[in-house]
């Protein structure tokens, strides 16, 4: 019953937000089709309190922007065959500080690569999530995220995250806390707070098209009671 209640509430949010934004006028941002590519090297892969690699990983992404739409592909590869590899395809619609995203996660490891085109709900390695996100403003410096797995996850797990955004000189700071109210996708036996920590980011502009970034992350995963230090070097 709790799972069903969370799912109904989330679906009501999904239906309400697009209804409020779809009739609003378009802005001239991204009137022309524009592209973006990025490459990161991270010392470890920790995602929403889940430890998905034992060592370094390479992350890459490519995105296309047109008006309020954003289509992208994000991939991850570990240096060990036992580490998680991932290919995500996503589509987002953004209005002002709000975005609605459909994300298809495909996770595997090199020791056993499943069929990418297998969308049989009892066999697939795909998990599809709907995400609503609010990106903060100067008067409300928070990023709020709510996600619902509606395919590939028998628990239809939800995830909620709040991030406080601030700066210390030229260093960007993100302090975050995330939780999953149900047992299931993030842990079969636990629910509640599963992700907390902080990101500290410095960016160096090389020219108009290239930016280097260095991110230091301190992450505590309550479900497994582990603390992680992750360093990420990015080229965007």
Q: What is the CATH number of the domain that holds 58?
A: 2.40.160.40
How does the average pLDDT of the chain come out, rounded?
Answer: 89
Average pLDDT rounded to a whole number, residues 117-128: 93
- Measured in residues, the chain has a length of 236
- Structural domains in the chain (count): 1
CB 43 within 8 A of CB 56: yes
Q: What is the pTM of this model?
A: 0.84
Task: Supply the range of the domain harboring residue 94.
Answer: 2-22+34-235
Environment class of 31 (CB within 10 Å of its CB; exposed 0-12, middle 13-18, buried 19+): exposed
Q: What pLDDT is recorded for position 4? A: 54
- Is 28 part of a structural domain of the chain? no
Q: How many angstroms separate the CA atoms of 166 and 174, rounded?
A: 7
Q: How many CB atoms lie within 10 A of CB 26?
A: 10
Q: What element of type H or E holds 17?
A: helix 2-21
Phi, psi (deg, nearest 5) at residue 12: -65, -40
- Is 123 part of a structural domain of the chain? yes
Per-residue pLDDT tens over the stretch 41-97: 999 999 999 999 999 999 999 999 999 999 999 999 998 878 889 999 999 999 999
Q: What pLDDT is recorded for position 112? A: 79
- Is 46 part of a structural domain of the chain? yes
- Is 130 part of a structural domain of the chain? yes
Q: What pLDDT is recorded for position 15? A: 45
- Is 29 part of a structural domain of the chain? no
């Amino acid at each position: 019953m709790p799972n069903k209640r969370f799912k109904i509430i989330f679906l009501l949010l999904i239906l309400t937000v697009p209804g409020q934004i779809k009739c609003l006028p378009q802005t001239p941002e991204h009137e022309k089709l524009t592209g973006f590519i990025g490459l990161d090297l991270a010392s470890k892969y920790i995602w929403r309190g889940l430890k998905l690699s034992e060592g370094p990983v390479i992350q890459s992404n490519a995105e296309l922007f047109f008006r309020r739409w954003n289509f992208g592909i994000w991939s991850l590869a570990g240096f060990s065959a036992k580490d998680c590899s991932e290919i995500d395809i996503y589509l987002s619609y953004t209005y002002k500080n709000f975005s609605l995203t459909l994300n298809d996660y495909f996770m595997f490891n090199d020791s056993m690569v499943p069929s990418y085109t297998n969308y049989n709900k009892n066999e697939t390695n795909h998990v599809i999530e709907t995400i609503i996100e609010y990106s903060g403003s100067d008067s409300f410096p928070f990023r709020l995220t709510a996600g619902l797995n509606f395919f590939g996850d028998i628990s239809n797990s939800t995830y909620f995250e709040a991030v406080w955004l601030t700066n210390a000189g030229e260093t960007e700071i993100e302090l975050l806390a995330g939780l999953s109210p149900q047992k299931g996708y993030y842990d079969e036996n636990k629910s509640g707070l599963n992700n907390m920590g902080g990101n500290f980011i410095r960016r160096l502009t090389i020219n108009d098209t290239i930016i280097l970034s260095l991110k230091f992350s301190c992450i505590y995963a309550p479900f497994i009671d582990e603390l992680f230090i992750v360093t990420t070097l990015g080229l965007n």
